[in-house]
Amino acid sequence: MKRTPMNTRQVAKGDRAFFGISSAASFFTLALVFLVLIFLSFRSWTTFAEQGIKFVTGSTWDNTTNPGTFQILPMIVGTVLISMVGLAIAVPASVSVAYFIEYMAPPRISKIATSLIDLLAALPSVVIGLWGMMVLVPQASEWSGLLTQHLGFIPFFRNTSGNTLGSPFMAGWTVAIMIIPIITSVSREVMSRVDKELISASTALGGTNFSTMRRVVIPTAKSGILGGILLGLGRALGETVAIFFVLNLIFDTNWYHILEPRGGSIPSLIVAKFGETTPSELSALMAAGVVLFIVTLIVNMIATSIVQRSEKRMAS
Amino acid sequence: MATLESLPRPNGGVTPWKVRSRSVSIIIVLASAIPAAITFGIQKALQVPGPIALLLIFLPIQLVSSWIAAAATRGRRGIADASLNVVVLFATTFVSIMLGSVLYSVINWGLKAISPHFIYQNNVYVTTTTSLDYGGAGHALLGSFLVVGLATVVAVPLGIAVAVYLTETRGRFRSPVRFFAQAMSGLPSIVSGLFIYAVFMASGISRPAGWLASAALVLLMLPTIIRMSEEVLKLVPGDLRSAALALGAPQRRAFFLVIFPAAKTGLITAILLGLARVVGETAPLLVTTRVNANTNVNPFSGDISTLPTYIFSYLTAGFDTGNARAWAAALMLLSVVAMIFAATRMLSNQK
């Protein structure tokens, strides 16, 4: 290749183009987030106008009347409830596994487990859904029955419907299995960045494994783990196909009876109703999508700022 | 600086603090075996349901026995450690069983249903009564490659350009761009599909088609590619940049001739992780495409099947050979993800 010397004007021009292209890509990406909100709000405007605040506080879904009644409170509550059940199972399990891989397992096992967890974190949710429906549900339905039978006096576990399938408990389990690898992967990464000399120092000063964990590992890794949990929460809130098959959609708000097959979730609602809809119902589904997006956006922004702050602190 | 790991150690790998006397070993074995035996006995005698026996009988007994063992070998200071060990091992076993069950079911059921022709044949003549000897998910595999490939072609240059903006330039909007790119990673996949639907389908621009699915996947892929590429580019030493610029290279040449080659393997890893993130996405494809029993090689028009929607459609159908086909396709999907991961491992080991 023949190189000709360039004069400064050419240099400036080329670099301006370089800067221009990368800025254009960045502004396009920035714009995409807002475009998503604007377009969906635009398409769902009729719903927000017609249903008003009742859209998020009422619990009737009826497309036979004109205009239809579309209210999604049971779905909002269901989405949150399922995510909470999922987190309640996934968080202790994930943090324990991360601790095991990082501090207890022999190096060989911990290396294999790390790769495996990273792979499982990318496991397609439809595969989890398939497993949930075919393998987990028969088992978990039994556990659900046992919980009602022995712990039914606690309001959480009461189930008067006589049916153990399709409850938020089932969906929560499925979601938990999906987000365990995600939270574990992040927590392990954060734990591996805890200064090894701090740990050695703690042990040398006579600390036990437990006190080292409590006074050194957890305080240092806390915000990173929290970021991982919120990442998992974001996934759980938006999860669609993994829980679609194991959850009943019933427009009856289920605040905390996790074993009763009532309620639903926003993404499941969208998938279930999307196929054959009236135009006004479609607009209502878009509106449900907007609500879901805003919720996950908030969760994710909190997660991002927590993780960024912890990274800054770790760097300094 | 001498770290603790690099300090001189006794020869022959002698680690006196790790030596365990025989009596301690016996105590540890007993402390693990006795609770299991007691639980097994109670479970057989009283017919307690398995999960209850595990949680309410085994776990407490195991905790107490580990406390006794710890107190006997290390005194009271060992008790907290023993609880930590028991709880962590219990949780880890539980997770291993659950995740192991996922992998085992996919591989086991998948292998039963899969056969060479399943990988390349399509679904045209398959009905609910067709045996597994005919038909396959070849068209869905091809569809997945087309849809995800198209998404990659768009998302990779865009994502890397954003990462370049974040690391190589002094643009004023770096922190908002970084923040919103991160926020985008929380975009629920179904919402991304709805967005594409609202823009292209509700307005009558297009019927369901592969490229709409690709567009939805771009939104999901971008945040991963941006974040990973940014980290990779940040790892390129600043001295290399300064050296290139000091030799008189314009910034773009410094990037393309020095920084980009140095970061190449890392960038490929970033792309592969982005691929792994979207190859199994189902929800946006359900909204923007329709399944097709026939092979469609044109992602720009017509119905197109992909592996995730293929699995989904057989799950909703719910008949025996359909379920078997879903498992086989799940195995194919899992293999694709595993291959992507093997590739990233190989790349990162190469360095």
Q: Is residue B103 part of a domain?
A: yes
B188 touches chain A (CB under 8 A): yes
Q: Considering only A83-87, A88-92, A104-108, A272-276, which range has the smallest mean pLDDT? A: A272-276
Q: Is residue B231 part of a domain?
A: yes
pLDDT tens, position by position, A116-127: 998 898 889 899
Q: Is residue A175 part of a domain?
A: yes
Of B90, B194, B337, the CB nearest to A122: B337
- Separation of CA B328 from chain center: 19
Query: In this predicted structure, what is the pLDDT of residue B180?
Result: 85
Query: In this predicted structure, what is the pLDDT of residue A60?
Result: 81
Hey, are the CB atoms on B323 and A134 less than 8 Å from each other?
yes
How far apart are the C-alpha atoms of B320 and B334, rounded to whole Å? 21
The helix/strand/coil state of A69 is strand
How far apart are the C-alpha atoms of B57 and A134, rounded to whole Å? 29
| Structural domain count of chain B | 2
How far B274 CA lies from chain A's nearest CA (Å)?
A: 10
Query: In this predicted structure, what is the pLDDT of residue B91?
Result: 92
Hey, are the CB atoms on A26 and B94 less than 8 Å from each other?
no
Q: Give the closest residue to A100 by CA, choosing from A112, A83, A86.
A: A112
The helix/strand/coil state of B156 is helix
Q: Is residue A190 part of a domain?
A: yes
Is the domain of B90 the same as that of B151?
no
Q: Is residue B7 part of a domain?
A: no
Is the domain of B335 the same as that of B229?
yes
A253 in Cβ contact with A204 (< 8 Å): no
pLDDT tens, position by position, A217-232: 988 888 888 888 988 8
Q: Is residue B16 part of a domain?
A: no
pLDDT band at B336 (very low <50, low <70, confident <90, very high): very high
Q: Is residue A260 part of a domain?
A: yes
A125 touches chain B (CB under 8 A): yes
Mean pLDDT for A274-282 is 79
Angle at A251 between CA A249 and CA A256, to 5 degrees: 85
Q: Is residue A26 part of a domain?
A: no
| Residue ranges making up the domain that contains B35 | 21-112
What residues 49-88 of chain A have any CB closer than 8 A to a CB of chain B? Answer: none
Mean pLDDT for B174-181 is 87
Hey, are the CB atoms on A33 and B3 less than 8 Å from each other?
no
A89 in Cβ contact with A102 (< 8 Å): no
Where does a domain end: B51, B78, B112?
A: B112
Hey, are the CB atoms on B4 and A303 less than 8 Å from each other?
no
Statement: residue B3 has pLDDT above 70: no
How far apart are the C-alpha atoms of B284 and B194, rounded to whole Å? 7
Q: Is residue A61 part of a domain?
A: yes
Task: For chain A, give the percent of residues with pLDDT over 90.
Answer: 20
| Residue ranges making up the domain that contains A89 | 57-315
Residue B244: give its domain's CATH number: 1.10.3720.10
Q: Considering only A27-31, A86-90, A298-302, which range has the smallest mean pLDDT? A: A298-302
B173 compared with A164, residue with greater pLDDT? B173
Is the domain of B151 the same as that of B65?
no
A119 touches chain B (CB under 8 A): yes
Hey, are the CB atoms on B182 and A289 less than 8 Å from each other?
no
Q: Is residue A147 part of a domain?
A: yes
Is the domain of B163 the same as that of B276?
yes
User: What distances in angstroms separate CA A185 from CA A192, A232, B63, B121, B150, one per listed residue?
Assistant: 11, 11, 27, 37, 29
Q: Which residues does chain A have within 8 Å of residue B87's beta carbon, measured at their own beta carbons?
A: 96
Statement: residue B135 has pLDDT above 50: yes
- Which strand (E) or helix (H) includes residue A62? strand A61-62
How far B131 CA lies from chain A's nearest CA (Å)?
A: 21
Of A122, A237, A303, the CB nearest to B188: A237
Statement: residue B125 has pLDDT above 80: no
Statement: residue B120 has pLDDT above 70: yes
| Structural domain count of chain A | 1
Is the domain of B289 the same as that of B179?
yes
**Ramachandran sector of residue B188 (left: φ over 0; alpha: ψ -120 to 50; beta: rest):** beta
pLDDT tens, position by position, B201-257: 877 787 888 899 999 999 999 998 998 899 899 988 889 889 998 998 888 888 889
DSSP state of A103: I
- Separation of CA B212 from chain center: 24
DSSP state of A159: -
Query: In this predicted structure, what is the pLDDT of residue A206?
Result: 84
Q: Which residues pair with A263 in a beta bridge?
A: A250
Query: In this predicted structure, what is the pLDDT of residue B153?
Result: 94
The model's pTM: 0.88
Task: For chain B, give the percent of residues with pLDDT over 70.
Answer: 94
Query: In this predicted structure, what is the pLDDT of residue B307?
Result: 92
A153 compared with B162, residue with greater pLDDT? B162
pLDDT band at B172 (very low <50, low <70, confident <90, very high): confident
Q: Is residue B124 part of a domain?
A: no
What residues 15-44 of chain B have any CB closer than 8 A to a CB of chain A? Answer: none
User: What distances in angstroms separate CA B1 from CA A9, A45, A88, A193, A195, one per listed residue?
Assistant: 48, 63, 43, 18, 15
B250 touches chain A (CB under 8 A): yes
Q: Which residues pair with A61 in a beta bridge?
A: A70
pLDDT tens, position by position, A35-68: 888 888 888 888 888 888 888 888 788 877 777 7
Statement: residue B5 has pLDDT above 80: no
Tell me the range of A156-160, A276-280, B63-67, B317-321 where mean pLDDT is highest. Answer: B63-67
Q: Residue A51: which residues within 8 A CB-CB, separation 6 or more?
A: A58, A69, A70, A71, A284, A287
A56 φ, ψ to 5°?
-105, 0
Query: In this predicted structure, what is the pLDDT of residue A6?
Result: 54
Q: Is residue A172 part of a domain?
A: yes
Q: Provide the sign of the torsion angle of the four alpha carbons A231, B180, A57, A286, taken in this order.
A: negative
Is the domain of B214 the same as that of B314?
yes
Hey, are the CB atoms on B194 and A40 less than 8 Å from each other?
yes
Is the domain of B102 the same as that of B207?
no
Maximum CA extent, chain B: 84
Residue A276: give its domain's CATH number: 1.10.3720.10
- Got the DSSP string for B236-303? S-HHHHHHHHHTT--HHHIIIIIIHHHHHHHHHHHHHHHHHHHTT--HHHHHH----SS----TTSS-
Statement: residue A1 has pLDDT above 50: no
Angle at B30 between CA B28 and CA B35, to 5 degrees: 110
Mean pLDDT of chain B: 85
What residues 276-335 of chain B have any CB closer than 8 A to a CB of chain A? Answer: 276-277, 279-283, 286-287, 308, 311-312, 315, 323, 326-327, 330, 333-334
Q: Is residue A18 part of a domain?
A: no
Statement: residue B351 has pLDDT above 60: no
Is the domain of B202 the same as that of B246?
yes
How far apart are the C-alpha atoms of B67 and B87, rounded to whole Å? 12
DSSP state of B133: T
Query: In this predicted structure, what is the pLDDT of residue B214?
Result: 94
Is the domain of B217 the same as that of B342?
yes
Mean pLDDT for A269-295 is 86
Q: Is residue B122 part of a domain?
A: no
B288 compared with B20, residue with greater pLDDT? B288
A234 touches chain B (CB under 8 A): yes
Q: Give the closest residue to B162 by CA, choosing from A35, A32, A22.
A: A22
Q: What residue type is assigned to position B233 of the chain?
A: L
Mean pLDDT for B66-74 is 84
Where does a domain end: B68, B97, B112?
A: B112
What is the distance between the terminal CA atoms of chain A, rounded to a whole angstrom? 46
Hey, are the CB atoms on B106 and A131 less than 8 Å from each other?
yes
ipTM confidence: 0.87
User: What distances in angstroms separate CA B193 from CA A239, A273, B234, B263, B273, one per listed residue?
Assistant: 13, 14, 32, 33, 21
Mean pLDDT of chain A: 85
Is the domain of B95 the same as that of B143?
no
